[in-house]
Homo-oligomer: A and B are copies of this chain.
């Protein structure tokens, strides 16, 4: 029987895969392309993390991520039209996935003995890099660089996790507090339209840069 964390993991993978497949469908990808974009969204962050940490990526030992993505593709093919009404449900699922993926990334790095800044970055990569790969595949500027608090929620949650760890809390407690922080930061940021400031750029800078470098 799957544990509670595994069930959260399935939900997160499913939500991330749906997000990739829907954006692929908006660009008129075929089924195969949509599956690849969904899979990259779901496992891309964890794969980059594992390559950097020099361990074997999770999907190479457990096919559950491939199956989850397949189910997500079937779901979109069959119920694509209904998905729009479920936007709020998927937003909650996506935030659960973000929280869980971040916590897994931070925990894995700390367990391997890496310093805190590596753990926080690995948590953010696990949570947010899949979305960056998705946006590169569909040839758009990655959303997380321009809009809303998304990866910042991972950073804040990762710092909280690490503070709990330093304070001597057990692994389970760190995960709970860190994950809840990511989840709440994401939900509150969207609810109250909290954004980071935009970096001011002038056309002059752009023009100069293009000419010069």
A19 in contact (CB, < 8 A): yes
Please state if B52 and A195 are interface contacts (CB–CB under 8 Å). Answer: no
Residues of B within 8 A of A24 (CB): 145, 199, 201
Give A103 to B32 CA distance when docked, in angstroms: 20
Give the size of the chain A interface in residues (CB under 8 angstroms).
Answer: 73
Please state if B25 and A201 are interface contacts (CB–CB under 8 Å). Answer: yes
A30's nearest neighbour on chain B, judged by CB, is B196
Residues of B within 8 A of A87 (CB): 208, 212
Q: A24-B145, A47-B52, A81-B202 are in contact. Are A118 and B60 (CB under 8 A)?
A: yes
- Tell me the minimal C-beta distance from A158 to chain B in angstroms: 13
Give A63 to B80 CA distance when docked, in angstroms: 45
Q: Among B80, B144, B205, point to the contact of A22 (Cβ < 8 A).
A: B205
A209 in contact (CB, < 8 A): yes
Interface-facing stretch out of A133-141, A165-173, A177-185 = A133-141
- Tell me the minimal C-beta distance from A115 to chain B in angstroms: 7
Please state if A195 and B30 are interface contacts (CB–CB under 8 Å). Answer: yes
Please state if A26 and B142 are interface contacts (CB–CB under 8 Å). Answer: no
B-contacting residues of A (Cβ < 8 Å)?
A: 19, 21-34, 36-37, 47, 51-52, 54, 56-57, 60-61, 63, 66, 76-77, 80-81, 83-84, 87, 91, 94, 114-115, 117-118, 121, 132, 136-147, 151-152, 155, 195-206, 208-209, 212-213
Q: Which 6 A-B pairs have the closest CB atoms?
A: A33-B145, A25-B201, A26-B206, A25-B199, A30-B196, A26-B201
For this complex, 10 residue pairs linking A to B, each with C-beta atoms less than 8 Å apart, are A28-B199, A28-B201, A29-B145, A31-B196, A32-B144, A51-B52, A60-B118, A63-B115, A87-B212, A91-B212
